[in-house]
Amino acid sequence: MSEDFLLDALSEDFSGPQNASSLKFEDAKLAAAISEVVSQTPASTTHTGAPPRDTSQSDKDLDDALDKLSDSLGQRQPDPDENKPMEDKVKEKAKAEHRDKLGERDDTIPPEYRHLLDDERNTS
């Protein structure tokens, strides 16, 4: 089975209409080619793991360990600032700042474009 045959089989739907007898023959050849490729593909294997251990005992051990750890931490001390409202940490106010953009004033226009401004003044 060549790549050309497979390419022709896959691209036959994109070509013009063919007569029905050759189409049935091509479908049979395509089905045979697909079954050959599929039969050559190895099946995946599955492996079973070890039997599950007694989960109730392991869960109990984990719960006991968690209880011992939480007992060793002690009680949580309440934070005295926990219920206070947030206050602004920035003391200075925002200032408005104006920056001249290129072309807003005549002296900010680049020299190579000033002749355009002069032309506009002469025509008005």
For residue 64, what pLDDT is reported?
92
Instruction: Choose between 75 and 54: higher pLDDT.
Output: 75
Read off the pLDDT of residues 7-25 as tens digits, 9 standing for 90 and up.
787 777 765 555 555 556 6
Determine, yes or no, domain membership for 104.
no
Determine, yes or no, domain membership for 21.
yes
Structural domain for 23, as ranges: 3-40
CA 92 to chain centre: 41
Read off the pLDDT of residues 26-40 as tens digits, 9 standing for 90 and up.
777 777 777 776 666
Confidence bin at 56 (pLDDT 50/70/90): confident
- b/e map of 48-64 (b: 16 or more CB within 10 Å)? eeeeeeeeeeeeeeeee
Q: In which region does residue 64 sit, left (phi positive, over 0), alpha (psi from -120 to 50) or beta (all else)?
A: alpha
Read off the pLDDT of residues 73-122 as tens digits, 9 standing for 90 and up.
878 788 877 777 777 777 788 888 877 776 667 777 778 887 887 777 77
Number of domain units in the chain:
1
Determine, yes or no, domain membership for 16.
yes
- Name the DSSP letter for residue 74: -
What contacts 30, CB < 8 A, 6 or more positions away?
Answer: 9
